[in-house]
Chains A and B, each alone.
Chain A
Amino acid sequence: MKARYSGNDAATQQEFTKVQELIYELRVDQVMTTPVITLSPESPMNEAKELMRFHRVSGLPIANDGAIRGILSIEDVIRWLERGGGESPAADWMTRKVQTVKGDEAAVQAIAKFGRYKVGRLPVVDRTGAMIGIVTSGDIIGRALRVLDARYREEETRRGSARCTLDELVGEGSAFVLRYEVAPKDFQHAGYAATRVKRVLDGLGMDRKIVRRAGIAAYEAEMNLSIHTDNGGVLLAEIAPEAVVIEATDEGPGIVDVSQALTAGFSSAPDWIRELGFGAGMGLNNMKNAADRFDIESEPGKGTTVRIQIDLNAGRGAQ
């Protein structure tokens, strides 16, 4: 088994990465069997044989008052049977030199010892040397598989429930809209709506790149409402099965020259806003870069509407 974990085949290596991580992550006391079935050195071999058969174990620690005296394996029992199987204490057949592993060591230490000492089980001791359990390679593999299984299920449930929530909430094929009022020149709260939009999309289990693009577009749109308008505006995020659409609408002052406003580096932001790190003249460009479809309509004195569409199934959706 040790050879399997250290195999040099690249694909195998990849597959075992998660398991390898686990055997470093899991502690021996998390995988061991407890309580331990033990026998005293004076116990007759017949009792040892019956105990192993009853509990379906292939080895038993022999102990006195919690102190390990030896270990009796199925091979020892076979040896005893071959020599007639007469009345005899476990102490006469057990292996006296016992390898142990500490409870707070990583499971990988136990695996190393199975290989090094050619043993199938190791009594587990605490730092004072008292026996607290027993561990076999099967225990470690079993536990590792259960942990992997639990993590896989958790991930599936998370994705599954996220999908269900969207359908349950709005009905299949429907869209829903998040609506935020954005106040003018309120830098304490500006950006709040964008981070909420991001959380909602995250919560729906959407692709991270989609979430990021929608977040960026919403943030820039929200900032424009906050920085450039007299009365603030409304930020909408429409979440539909085929697209996420961010729309910012305000009632003025409007953009005099839209193509100039779209020029990278052009900004009409005043100095005090630039000092806060805004006014790079990149806002509309960032929105455009995040969009599969970008529309802007503006009329001086009337207001501006910016619309950013991010497709979920086509275009750059999966990018």
Chain B
Amino acid sequence: MKLADVARVLDAKPISPSADIDLEVACACAADLISDVLAFAGAGALLLTGLTNPQVIRASDVAGVVAALFVRGKSPLPETERLAAEAGITLLQTPHSMFESCGRLYEAGLREGGGPTNTPREGSVEERA
């Protein structure tokens, strides 16, 4: 699914003006825990998260995440934006909640991608508050 489609489905907007919305995401991962990003985000994934600190980008970088979407209208910290630009990770923002966002994307055909063990576990998609 292209980021442009993700943006359409979630009423999302790219955070940096130079965001590449033609980018293709292979799968998705929703996590509010850094370790879950590492465990469940497959290479080429879109990450849905409520975390806006720079660490979410560092973890995404090592996990091979290509785009991060901040839910509930959250905006990343300036340092987060800087790191994302450096790592080539596109950032988007949606006004919808994590649950709503995951549901819409699932309905649109996007699926979870395999992590290092490639064994998605129960509860790995649901919102972790």
Spell out A's residues near B (CB within 8 Å): 187-188, 190-192, 194-195, 198, 208, 212-213, 215-216, 218-220, 223, 276-278, 280-283, 285-286, 289-290
Contacts and interface: CB of A to CB of B under 8 A. Distances in A.
A282 B33 CA distance: 9
B36 interface: yes
Given A191-B55, A194-B58, A289-B116, A208 B38 contact: no
Given A213-B116, A290-B116, A280 B58 contact: no
A56 B94 CA distance: 62
B87 A195 contact: yes
Given A208-B64, A213-B116, A277-B53, A286 B58 contact: no
Interface residues of B, number: 23
B48 interface: no
Contact of B58 (A195, A208, A281, A283): A195
B83 to A, nearest CB: 9
B27 interface: no
A195 B59 CA distance: 8
A194 B112 CA distance: 25
Nearest to A223: B34
Q: Which 9 A-B pairs have the closest CB atoms?
A: A191-B58, A215-B62, A282-B35, A280-B33, A280-B35, A277-B51, A277-B34, A216-B38, A219-B62
Q: Quick one: which of A191, A276, A290 has the most chain B CB within 10 A?
A: A191
Contact of B62 (A198, A276, A278, A282): A198
Contacts, number: 81
Interface of B: 32-36, 38-39, 43, 51, 53-56, 58-59, 61-64, 79, 87, 116-117
Q: Decide if the interface of chain A is mainly helix, strand, loop or mixed.
A: helix
Contact of A276 (B36, B55, B61): B55
Given A286-B38, A289-B116, A198 B61 contact: yes
6 contacts: A212-B64, A219-B38, A276-B53, A277-B55, A278-B34, A286-B116
Given A195-B87, A277-B55, A289 B35 contact: no
Contacts of B55: 187, 190-191, 223, 276-278
Contacts of A190: 55, 58
